[in-house]
Amino acid sequence: MSDDIAGAAWPDEIYGVLKDAGVSQICFVPDAGHKTLIERSVADNHMTTVRLTTEEEGVAMLAGSWLGGAKGALLMQSSGVGNCPNFLSLVKGARFPILMIVSMRGEYGEQNPWQYPMGQAVEPVLKAMGVLVFRVEAMEDLGSATAAALAASFHGGQGAALILSQKFLGAKAF
């Protein structure tokens, strides 16, 4: 899928599903892959957004959100998943839901050799920490995968990661 096709539709679709599900908090480390989704969240007066300095802060932020009665989501690039395993033990031990939306690097069409190691480790790391993985390869997968990740997290009480593959997003040239 080209950047133009994916870039035009997926952020709005995910944003709408998050809003419909009552997600009111978004935390993120700035990422070009999530740029439009972040902009939509920041512009919404009914959405609380928190810019993080590192991704694992988002795990703690979402724990606090849930304990305070709010649903939240953590937006990050695949390289940020490597920062989270120790904090994901909190999710498993305390049994609270978490929804992560991960834009992938180190896959289909990648040109940066530094992105491959973590790109290949994302799903095994998440699964080892007990997080359910919902992967999007094409636009037709997006709605059902997003709904499944939301249901697993907020109704099933699980850690869930919506993985936006590089084949879906398009490869970055940097």
Q: Is 84 a member of any domain? A: yes
Report whether pLDDT(4) > 60: no
| Domain total in the chain | 1
How confident is residue 170, by pLDDT bands cut at 50, 70 and 90?
confident
33's tokens: 């892959």
Q: Is 81 a member of any domain? A: yes
| Predicted local distance difference test score (pLDDT) of residue 55 | 96
The crossing angle, in degrees rounded to 10, of helices 3-20 and 139-150 is: 30
Q: Is 75 a member of any domain? A: yes
How confident is residue 153, by pLDDT bands cut at 50, 70 and 90?
very high
- 31: domain CATH number is 3.40.50.970
| Predicted local distance difference test score (pLDDT) of residue 95 | 85
Q: Is 174 a member of any domain? A: no
Measured between its terminal Cα atoms, the distance across the chain in Å is 18
43, burial (CB in 10 Å: exposed 0-12, middle 13-18, buried 19+): exposed
Q: Is 89 a member of any domain? A: yes
> Which domain, by its residues, includes 83?
3-169
Question: Around Cβ 100, how many Cβ atoms within 10 Å?
Answer: 27
User: What does the pLDDT look like over 34-77, one tens digit per residue?
Assistant: 999 999 999 999 999 999 999 999 999 999 999 999 999 999 99
pTM for the model:
0.91
Q: Is 142 a member of any domain? A: yes
- Return the bridge partners of 43, or none: none
Q: How far apart are CA 49 and CA 169, in angstroms?
A: 23
User: What does the pLDDT look like over 76-132, one tens digit per residue?
Assistant: 999 999 999 999 988 888 888 999 999 999 899 888 889 988 999 999 999 999 999
